[in-house]
Structure 1
Amino acid sequence: MTTCAQSLVRLLEGYGVDTVFGIPGVHTVELYRGLHGSRLRHVSPRHEQGAGFMADGYARASGKPGVCFIITGPGMTNILTAMGQAYADSVPMLVISTTNRREHLRLGHGHLHELPDQRAMVAGVCAFSHTLQSPEQLPELLARAFAVFKCARPRPVHLEIPLDVLDMPAIDLNLMPRSLPGAPAPAPASLRAALNLLNDARRPLILAGGGARDCAEVLQQLAERLQAPVALTTNARGLLPMNHPLLLDGVQSSKHGRSLFDEADVILAVGTELGETDYDFFGLGPLKFKAPLIRLDIDPMQVMGVQRAHVGLVGDAREGLQALLDEVSPPAPSGRWAQDSVQRVNRLERETWNAKQQGLQGLLDLLRDSLVDPLIVGDSTQPVYQGAVGYQAPVANSWFNAGTGYGTLGYGLPAAIGAKLAKPERPVVALVGDGGLQFASNELIAAREAGIGVILVVWNNQCYGEIRDYMQAREITPLGVDILTPDFAAMAHSCHVEHHTAATPQALHELLQTLAGSRQPVMIELDAAQYLQNA
């Protein structure tokens, strides 16, 4: 007899899933019956939040949805933060959980792991949440989930399976994956209106976000055709090559970037919310565009967002950019406005950096340049915040972190583990502060157990440094931010992981080159004050 749980595993295989993150529990053991003999690799984190962050990092690095098996009740409350991060950053994640037997739902009889309404609790951090009522619904619901990942704004999907449904016989189910539709293209009339604006523009500007992260080639071609400077959000870094003459540093949130917005005569925003943490990081106030705004986004709610669009293009970023590229024929640009403006704004931004910011930027550049094709995953920590302003990624999907958007702590290490699983051939760096690491240090032993060679770089300033600085800037006496940090060497040793220190950039460079091919996780601890002094 093939059960519902076993059929689920076979369907996941059909949709190309190869890795599942989860912690077995009495309510999910039937799912594990299905895993035996399958092609799916199972990775055991040490906390369900870690499972969600691993799935997030795996999805961003691979382009495929991250999949989690999660127990009823506490497992789902534990993973909610990770789902919130993925929801905010439009990351495809499939969370499959159990729930109590159908006859016990929402009665409050005190059954194991019981919640009043688990699905309602999860609904706010996913594209949809559904309770499976019978095995026959499984093929349709999984097809809907993968259609969201491919054809809509990708966000977590939650499917919960009652315990009595989980081990039901699944008779005559069609376990072939359904053919998924293609992503929608913008309407022709809207494209014509956008082309009219772009064809008349002499000083166009492009703002690209994470929704365009798979469109590097066509975005670059359009920017060059238009001679338009390009500002990239954190999740879009790498869409233009480093040092490209049209590539702005992360200046869209600074006064220098704002001044360039005022000079533009049309602005094309692609796959970006135009949200606070990407465009108002320094508290300058809401964006006010003087030029006509074109918004291209697969989510109509974003096209109709607070920043009013003169032309709204609802559809896939690649489809929309290609359609614009195929038809646009702008007049000759106004002199060297684009390249001169990029040089000027980038220079002005870098001239404002103090010695600490320059040291932090040097650290980021060293991490990038000391490794071949690195993927850097950051937590909410001071070097990562500097990267929001100045980091240039070598390629798309090689720099992501929790420093913007939802902004959770504890993301960096488990997300880097997921990324390394997706891209085992690339060096993967987890850049984490001493405070953030304490949110997720338990996942270091999970990486060691699974043989996942992440390079963990710990920025140890013995405090929640960014929050301490924030309090001091507002004349608030720091409280609760100067924390006692663990002995990280002892922590690494207890997890069977090598521990190293580097007091200078040269020492760090040499260590990275030595450790790049490690098949096991390694920890490099940087004393923040000492490192900056020697930078």
Structure 2
Amino acid sequence: MVKMKGGRAIVESVLRHGVDTIFGIPGGQTYELFDALYGRDNEVRLITSRSEQGAAYMAFGYARSTGKVGTFTVVPGPGVLNAGAALTTAYACNAPVLCLTGQVPSTGIGKGIGFLHDVPDQLGAVQRMTKWAARIDHPAHAPGAVAEAFRQLTTGRPGPVSLEMALDVMGQTAPVTLPEPEVPAEVLEPDPDLIAEAAALLGRAEKPLIFVGAGAIGAAEEVREIAEMLQAPVVSHRGGRGILSDRHYLSQTFPAGHRLWPEADVVLAIGTRLKYPRMHWGNDAALKVVHIDIDPMQLTRIAAPAVGLAGDAQATLRALIDGLGATNRRRDSEKDRLEALKAGLTKAFSDDIQPQIAYLDVLRGEMSDDAILVDEITQVGYASWYGFPVYAPRTLITSGYSGNLGYGLSTAVGVKIAHPERQVVSINGDGGFMYHCGELATVAKYNLDMVIIVFSDGAFTNVARAQTSRFGGRVVGTALQNPDFVKMAEAFGVAGRRAENPAELREALRAAFKAKGPMLIEVPIGETAFPWKYLLLPPVRGPKASAQPK
């Protein structure tokens, strides 16, 4: 037991749980927490951002690209609410993000006195954006609260959590016991009877099909093994890209999954909601689903599966692989057929989705296999979900169903901080980039060796396209006034270049990867093809099925 202030009790506790990086901005209600970080550079990196939302997205990028807890700290009230968009993104993507925030004086919480940064029921608001949130009311309670936060972060379905402490409690000195972190909870094992039932279904299947989401990232080797046993294509939308390398013939994109959906008799869904196929592609009595998820609630949220397996993806797949040994039928290799499907769709993407695919081809050609691409809510970003080959898990970072415009640059900063030795490329539209362009100062301050691409067309293009199609061409509120992005970058101390076409982008990328330090590349881009053609896909099964595309 050691006497310490509440702010130090929080810091000591999170460091004992392995936190090595904290993103954030100091402020009146977190001074004590930051003081506890002073002189600890050999234990923890403090990355100061230029906005609370930026700090939170950096923690999100750190978490998504590593699987470790990403930690940020902000002031209460407007600070934590500014970070709310990133918390909801972390929730959508099942990312383990820890928010550490302050509070008004403990005697004034909930009384509406009007202390600086006071908001009604801050804890209640944050609880509705996170998996779990709590207030620490005494320094001695900090270690237990932090331990519970990490239990929530690392067991079951991952998600963001938050801890708050009033500013007077942060400054209060009291005896604090700092126990060693608890041993991680045992892996949730699946029900053996259900494993046998699932193995029998999959073993008899004539045309099995596998869908993977982010919940399968820790089971990449098992996914490959069971896919090869079943000769089953492996389909992913966003979160599961790269779990099976796109160089493997069984790895198929989301549009390929739509082509394969009508023929499937048993679908194995691993760590995915299976939302779009179930809700939009159609169902019938001949289709059986075996669903694996760490969160039992996900198994029946959209539709009840034939077999629902609540458990850790890796442990459940290992049990299922063992069970298949006795039940699996012999199937001919699907290599020729699936490689033809992949080649045909690759050509279709190139024919239909330009110039986005041309730019993505340049990126893939110049980036290393383990490089990390951080997308954005932009025309090139949408196309990357199916038009950018991914060779390893956690190398395509997206915002999932949250779809937050402007999240990309700050997220990419967090990714780069986590992976200083790897290439990191952030693709942005001009609309989204301006949300967080101030974080160029952070990029320059820490001399981050990363590439930032801004595709500039002077509009919120997705909105303008929808207005044109739905409202008879009445386009309103979507035109943008942009700065010279190259000059903007240079003003922040970041190298800038302009690339007018894919060939010039290739040259700029080569220069950026050869040089040390950050580079922003502005790419003026004209009219773009409709990327949703390969994402908003019609029913191909059941009574509402449309004609299957050739």
**Band the TM-score falls in, shorter-chain normalisation:** over 0.9
Supply the distance in 2 between the matched residues of 1:455 and 1:520 (Cα, whole angstroms). Answer: 9
Question: Could you tell me how far 1:476 is from its partner in structure 2?
Answer: 4.1
Q: 1:201 to 1:531 in 2, by over 3 A?
A: closer
Q: 1:356 to 1:48 in 2, by over 3 A?
A: farther
Supply the distance in 1 between the matched residues of 2:281 and 2:249 (Cα, whole angstroms). Answer: 28
Q: Is the 8 A contact 1:500 1:525 kept in 2?
A: yes
- Give the one of 377, 394, 399 matched to 2:396: 399
Q: Secondary structure at the match of 1:451?
A: coil
Question: Could you tell me how far 1:452 is from its partner in structure 2?
Answer: 1.5
Q: Which amino acid aligns with 2:168?
A: D
Alignment partner of 1:23 is 2:25: yes
- Give the one of 99, 103, 108 matched to 1:104: 108
- Give the one of 280, 285, 288 matched to 1:285: 280
Q: Which amino acid aligns with 2:184?
A: L
Alignment partner of 1:84 is 2:49: no
Q: 1:345 to 1:471 in 2, by over 3 A?
A: farther
Q: Is the 8 A contact 1:150 1:183 kept in 2?
A: no
Alignment partner of 1:381 is 2:378: yes
Partner of 1:296: 292
Matches within 5 A, 1:220-369: 220-251=224-255, 257-276=257-276, 279=277, 285=280, 287-288=282-283, 290-329=286-325, 330-336=327-333, 338-347=334-343, 349-350=345-346, 352-353=348-349, 355=351, 357-369=353-365
Partner of 1:460: 456
Partner of 1:440: 436
Partner of 1:59: 63
Q: Is the 8 A contact 1:19 1:43 kept in 2?
A: yes
Alignment partner of 1:14 is 2:23: no
Cα-to-partner distance string for 1:118-155 (whole Å, 9 max, x where unaligned): 01111121111111122222222212221222221111
Matches within 5 A, 1:12-161: 12-38=14-40, 39-161=43-165
Q: Secondary structure at the match of 2:353?
A: helix
Question: Could you tell me how far 1:492 is from its partner in structure 2?
Answer: 0.8
Q: Is the 8 A contact 2:55 2:410 kept in 1?
A: yes
Supply the distance in 2 between the matched residues of 1:327 and 1:308 (Cα, whole angstroms). Answer: 23
Supply the distance in 2 between the matched residues of 1:348 and 1:508 (Cα, whole angstroms). Answer: 26
- Give the one of 198, 206, 212 matched to 1:208: 212
Question: Could you tell me how far 1:226 is from its partner in structure 2?
Answer: 1.0
Cα-to-partner distance string for 1:383-430 (whole Å, 9 max, x where unaligned): 11111233221211000123x401011111100000000000001000
RMSD of aligned Cα (Å):
2.0
- Give the one of 3, 6, 9 matched to 1:4: 6
Q: Which amino acid aligns with 1:288?
A: N
Supply the distance in 1 between the matched residues of 2:341 and 2:351 (Cα, whole angstroms). Answer: 19
Question: Could you tell me how far 1:296 is from its partner in structure 2?
Answer: 0.4
Question: Could you tell me how far 1:341 is from its partner in structure 2?
Answer: 4.8
Partner of 2:523: 526
Supply the distance in 2 between the matched residues of 1:116 and 1:146 (Cα, whole angstroms). Answer: 27
Question: Could you tell me how far 1:376 is from its partner in structure 2?
Answer: 0.4
> What's the TM-score once normalised by structure 1's chain length?
0.93
Supply the distance in 1 between the matched residues of 2:446 and 2:352 (Cα, whole angstroms). Answer: 37
Q: Is the 8 A contact 1:457 1:526 kept in 2?
A: yes
Supply the distance in 1 between the matched residues of 2:221 and 2:5 (Cα, whole angstroms). Answer: 45
- Give the one of 445, 453, 459 matched to 1:449: 445
Q: Is the 8 A contact 1:7 1:170 kept in 2?
A: no
- Give the one of 507, 510, 517 matched to 1:510: 507
Q: 1:473 to 1:157 in 2, by over 3 A?
A: same
Q: Is the 8 A contact 1:208 1:270 kept in 2?
A: yes
Q: Secondary structure at the match of 1:322?
A: helix
Supply the distance in 2 between the matched residues of 1:144 and 1:188 (Cα, whole angstroms). Answer: 30
Cα-to-partner distance string for 1:21-65 (whole Å, 9 max, x where unaligned): 111101100001110122111111111111111111011112211
Q: Which has the higher mean CA deviation after the structures are superposed, 230-239 or 417-426?
A: 230-239
Q: Secondary structure at the match of 2:425?
A: strand
Q: Is the 8 A contact 1:371 1:513 kept in 2?
A: no
Cα-to-partner distance string for 1:368-391 (whole Å, 9 max, x where unaligned): 220223110011010111112332
Supply the distance in 2 between the matched residues of 1:104 and 1:206 (Cα, whole angstroms). Answer: 54
Question: Could you tell me how far 1:339 is from its partner in structure 2?
Answer: 3.4
Question: Could you tell me how far 1:470 is from its partner in structure 2?
Answer: 2.3
Cα-to-partner distance string for 1:40-96 (whole Å, 9 max, x where unaligned): 111111111111111110111122111011101110110000101110110010001
Supply the distance in 2 between the matched residues of 1:509 and 1:208 (Cα, whole angstroms). Answer: 32
Q: 1:287 to 1:135 in 2, by over 3 A?
A: farther
How many percent of aligned residue pairs carry the same amino acid?
A: 32
Q: Secondary structure at the match of 1:214?
A: helix
Q: Which has the higher mean CA deviation after the structures are superposed, 86-95 or 315-324?
A: 315-324
Unpaired runs of 5+ residues, structure 2, are 530-550
Q: Which amino acid aligns with 1:221?
A: E
Q: Which has the higher mean CA deviation after the structures are superposed, 446-455 or 420-429?
A: 446-455
